[in-house]
Each structure stands twice: as C-alpha cells, then as structure tokens.
Amino acid sequence: MSPMGEKYIKKLYQHLRQLPEEEREDAVMEIKSHIVESVRNGRKEEEVLAKLGSPSKLARAYLGDFYVRESSMHPLFLIKALLLYVTSGFLSLIFIPVLGMLSVTFGIVSIIIPILGLLRTFGASWIQMNLTPTYEVPVLLSFPFALLVALFLFGLFWICWKALRGYLTLLSSAHRKIILSSHVR
C-alpha cells in the first residue's frame, strides 16, 4: 500500500476512536483489505480512495452502524424512540404538510405577482389590484406595488421554509440523541 493509502488508513483509525478497540481494528482491516484487493484487481489506489470518500465520512458510517446495532434492542432506546415517534408523528402530520404547502405557495406567488404587476402596467386590463373594495391601485403604480407585495410574500416563504427546516432538524437531532444516549458500551 502506498504512503497515501497508509495516511488514509491512519486518519480513518483516528476518526473511529469512539468505537471499542476490537470494532475499530475490524473496520480498519476491512477497508485496508478492500483497498489492497481493488488494487490487485487493476484499479488505481487513488481511484479506490476517492470512491471510499473522506476518512471522516467513512468513519461516521461505521459509527452510525455500530450505534444502531448496539442500541436498537436496548429497552431505554425502545421507550425513548416510541415516545419520540408518537409525539412527533402527530405533530408531523400537521407541521410538515402545512409548512410545506405554505412555503411552496408563498414562493410561487412571490414570483407570479411581479409578473402580473408588470403586465397590468403595460395594459393588461383584466388584472385588478384592489386594496379595498373602493380603492384600486393606479395602473402606473402596479409594478412597484406588486414588488412590495412580492417581497412581503417572499418573507413569509422564507419564514415557513426556515420553520420547516428547523422542525425537521429538531426531529433528526432528537432521534440522534435517543440513539446516542441509549448506546450500550
């Protein structure tokens, strides 16, 4: 194995420090034999290392697999996971579709409104912009008014999108915490 391959294996070993020593050695030996076997079969070592990805990402995959294997049957894990999925499952039925639809709707409308304002400015009389039942936006102000409305709607889109991403991140971090806290050493 070349110095580049040895350096890769050394970094992988360092990133696997959270694993028990036996698991760590097994993972490193598995990757080392994969590299050697691939080179023996005619592939370039650089190509094999590129396919494996960075040592840190590969180590995270091994760590994740280990945590799931070790934690999935632990009673505390099962209780915490059940509580997470029951409570978040009901909320997810509401939050995810509502925030998703609102963000998509606000995003699309924030694109369409300036186009309609521009069309109205240049003579599309079928487009109406009424602020109240008795007051209509003057034709020359249609585009600037549409831009203001579009900016407001884009702000709502951004808020809904961030809320949706935040909720999904919260769920995934809660799931990760359950797995990590139930890890049996």
pLDDT band at residue 49, thresholds of 50, 70 and 90?
confident
More confidently predicted of 72 and 150: 150
Task: Note whether 86 and 64 are same-domain residues.
Answer: no
Task: Note whether 66 and 81 are same-domain residues.
Answer: no
Task: Note whether 79 and 124 are same-domain residues.
Answer: yes
Task: Note whether 80 and 158 are same-domain residues.
Answer: yes
Task: Note whether 61 and 96 are same-domain residues.
Answer: no
More confidently predicted of 22 and 101: 101
Task: Note whether 129 and 157 are same-domain residues.
Answer: yes
Evaluate if residue 77 carries a pLDDT over 70. no
Task: Note whether 177 and 124 are same-domain residues.
Answer: yes
Q: Considering 71, 92, 111, which residue would you say is the last residue of a domain?
A: 71
Dihedral angle sign, alpha carbons of residues 124, 126, 132, 135: positive
Q: What is the mean predicted confidence (pLDDT) over 22-38?
A: 88
User: Which pLDDT belongs to residue 184?
Assistant: 41
Determine the longest span between alpha carbons in the chain, in angstroms.
Answer: 82
Report pTM.
Answer: 0.50
Which residues lie closer than 8 Å to 71 by C-beta, 6 or more apart?
A: 77, 179, 182, 183, 184
Task: Note whether 163 and 97 are same-domain residues.
Answer: yes
Evaluate if residue 127 carries a pLDDT over 70. yes
pLDDT band at residue 169, thresholds of 50, 70 and 90?
confident
The pair of three-digit structure tokens given for residue 126, joined into one six-digit string: 């079928």
Task: Note whether 79 and 67 are same-domain residues.
Answer: no
Evaluate if residue 52 carries a pLDDT over 70. yes
User: Which pLDDT belongs to residue 185?
Assistant: 41
Task: Note whether 38 and 121 are same-domain residues.
Answer: no
User: Which pLDDT belongs to residue 173?
Assistant: 76
User: Which pLDDT belongs to residue 103?
Assistant: 93
Instruction: Name 130's bridge partners.
Output: 136
Dihedral Cα 113, 117, 119, 122, nearest 10 deg: -170
Domain count, the chain: 2
- Structural domain for 145, as ranges: 75-181
